[in-house]
Structure 1
Amino acid sequence: MWTSGEGMMMRAGGRWLEGKGFGPTPDKAPTIVMLHEGLGSAELWRDFPQKLADATGYGVFAYSRFGYGGSDPAPLPRPIDYMSREATEVLPEVLGAIGFRKGIFVGHSDGASIAAIYAGTVQDHRVRGLVLMAPHFFTEPMGLKSIAAAKLAYENSDLRQRLARYHVHVDNAFYGWNGAWLDPEFEKWNIEEVIAYLRVPVLAIQGVDDQYGTRAQIAALEEQSYNPVDVLMLEECRHSPFIDQPQKTLDAISDFVARLDAIEAAEAEAA
């Protein structure tokens, strides 16, 4: 269990991961598990986890995957299916380590893909809903072009220095992500098959000006899902809705959680 606002270390996938919980622990309230982007970490969610805990009354837990933040480094190069491995091999152990009982996943970018893979692959009735911010279900030329540009920025600007403030193993974090996405074999990466197996409501949030993916990602989710999918497209927003449009993102997630609570209450009353 965690102490709200204090960092912790946990063992999962054979290595140490850093995490931080906010608000009530899983034995006291449902939990929002936050899954960060390809260059994110627990700290790079900034104050959003605390705001989410305050707005919903849920506990919120954010952790840094291998290679990120203060977690142990990841073996490189990362395999093409690294997100699927994270979802099926590591995330279950993270949930066990925090005593997860029920709640939702909030994933961003790579983290959104990992959340979708878990929900579409692992039968876990504790997971009641998904919030997918800027999810990737397949590669797009414009996204790969932006990732190639990020490599140039990392090697020729102050990007490495800025990222090093948040990642102990900064080269491991950057090249683990960037190297996998720029592997020629990664152009064929596609996880659309998991969409049809999602059995919980989904809230998809994407910036209109997202530099890593187009609305085609959201369209695939809408067209292939058998479960309800709510979509929020945000103007004046790039790849990180919780940074570019924090209040609208917070309000949308809070409303989504409230509707899930209402559904659960109605089902319990009917039973």
Structure 2
Amino acid sequence: MVEFVLLTHAGQPVSIEYQWLNREREHTPLLVFLHEGLGSVSMWRDYPQTLCDAAGCRGLVYSRPGYGRSTPRAPEARWQPDYLHIQSWQVLPALLDALGIEAPCWLFGHSDGGSMALLFAARFAERTAGIITLAPHIFVEEITVAGIAAAREAYLAGGLRQGLARHHADPDSPFWGWNHAWLNPAFRQWNLEADIVGIRCPVLAIQGEGDEYASMAQIDGIQRIVPHTQLLKLADCSHSPHRDQAAAVTEATLALLRSVGFAQL
């Protein structure tokens, strides 16, 4: 069941859409799912439930401000190059506090959410048990800019907007927030390499060999900065490994959890 909690974001009250998975397993570890740049609670489909069932744990899925059924972005608001830092260092901790989550949690992030998982783990080591990051970005590549520019054309043509309208109360809110931010010339300097130094928790970084938004330099770069990072590079896989290669992602995630003594496995 989807619920809502009220937070303060950018000085304004915002309603956050969230959903508990296996909430009755209150003494099990928690996986928090961080969605992609155009994602939401519903866009994860059934993968979070499938993974939590396989791991025997609880899950928390939520839509960031501007996404899903959470409070939309104001039409005049322009997200700046630090928007993922704000989501990772301000909004996510506030959400965990509002929901009474005190114990360290596991973060499972995709794309923008994968970058958020890294940022959160670096800043809040005491609140992070480990992270699984799928198709994350730690710097901007030409392939990324080209892919986002192509998404803009698809949205203006109407097909992409129609699809997003099934998952967002106001599809213009997430799309233009994300698209304008990444295509802003100032975003070319965006880089997380200095921000993720010192991550101590277990890290699994996953990327498809056919990723249309990034090269393997992204997860190779994570391993260079955080040497204990485990990498999984998937053939026949695009920007969404949990959709294209769900079984492989699940097995790699469970293997990581087993390796650190995850009690349920």
Structure 1: 5+ residue runs without aligned partners?
1-5, 266-271
**d(CA) in 2 for partners of 1:235, 1:157:** 31
Q: Which residue of 2 aligns with 1:247?
A: 247
Percent identity between the aligned chains? 39
TM-score, normalised with respect to structure 1: 0.91
Equivalent residues in 2 for 1:116-155 (5 A)? Answer: 116-122=118-124, 124-155=125-156
**d(CA) in 2 for partners of 1:260, 1:94:** 26
SS in structure 2 opposite 1:195? Answer: coil
Q: Which residue of 2 aligns with 1:45?
A: 44
Find out whether 1:211 has 2:212 as its counterpart: yes
**d(CA) in 1 for partners of 2:127, 2:86:** 20
Partner letter of residue 16 of structure 1?
S
Equivalent residues in 2 for 1:14-163 (5 A)? Answer: 14-24=13-23, 27-75=26-74, 76-100=77-101, 101-122=103-124, 124-163=125-164
**d(CA) in 2 for partners of 1:8, 1:237:** 33
Structure 2: 5+ residue runs without aligned partners?
none
Of stretches 156-165 and 139-148 in structure 1, the one that deviates more from structure 2 is 156-165
Q: Post-superposition shift, 1:97?
A: 2.3
**d(CA) in 1 for partners of 2:44, 2:24:** 19
**d(CA) in 2 for partners of 1:177, 1:48:** 23
Q: Does structure 2 conserve the Cα–Cα contact (< 8 Å) formed by 1:33 and 1:60?
A: yes
Change (3 A) 1:111 1:130: same
Find out whether 1:189 has 2:184 as its counterpart: no
Q: Post-superposition shift, 1:86?
A: 0.6
Q: Post-superposition shift, 1:132?
A: 0.6
Over the residues paired in the alignment, what is the CA RMSD in angstroms? 1.6
Q: Post-superposition shift, 1:253?
A: 1.0
**d(CA) in 2 for partners of 1:216, 1:28:** 38
**d(CA) in 1 for partners of 2:261, 2:55:** 10
Find out whether 1:233 has 2:240 as its counterpart: no
**d(CA) in 2 for partners of 1:88, 1:160:** 30
Q: Does structure 2 conserve the Cα–Cα contact (< 8 Å) formed by 1:103 and 1:127?
A: yes
Q: Post-superposition shift, 1:99?
A: 2.4
Q: Post-superposition shift, 1:103?
A: 2.3
SS in structure 2 opposite 1:197? Answer: coil
**d(CA) in 1 for partners of 2:48, 2:17:** 15
More helix by share: 1
Q: Post-superposition shift, 1:224?
A: 1.2
CA deviations over 1:216-254 (Å, ceiling 9, x no partner): 00111111115x211111110000001111111111112
**d(CA) in 1 for partners of 2:30, 2:99:** 10
Q: Post-superposition shift, 1:58?
A: 1.1
Q: Which residue of 2 aligns with 1:3?
A: none
Partner letter of residue 7 of structure 1?
V
Q: Does structure 2 conserve the Cα–Cα contact (< 8 Å) formed by 1:116 and 1:130?
A: yes
Q: Does structure 1 conserve the Cα–Cα contact (< 8 Å) formed by 2:26 and 2:58?
A: no
Q: Post-superposition shift, 1:90?
A: 0.4
Q: Post-superposition shift, 1:10?
A: 1.0
Q: Post-superposition shift, 1:61?
A: 0.6
Q: Does structure 2 conserve the Cα–Cα contact (< 8 Å) formed by 1:33 and 1:61?
A: yes
SS in structure 2 opposite 1:16? Answer: strand
**Matched residue count:** 257
Q: Does structure 2 conserve the Cα–Cα contact (< 8 Å) formed by 1:56 and 1:258?
A: no
CA deviations over 1:163-197 (Å, ceiling 9, x no partner): 10100011011000001000010011001112222
SS in structure 1 opposite 2:167? Answer: coil
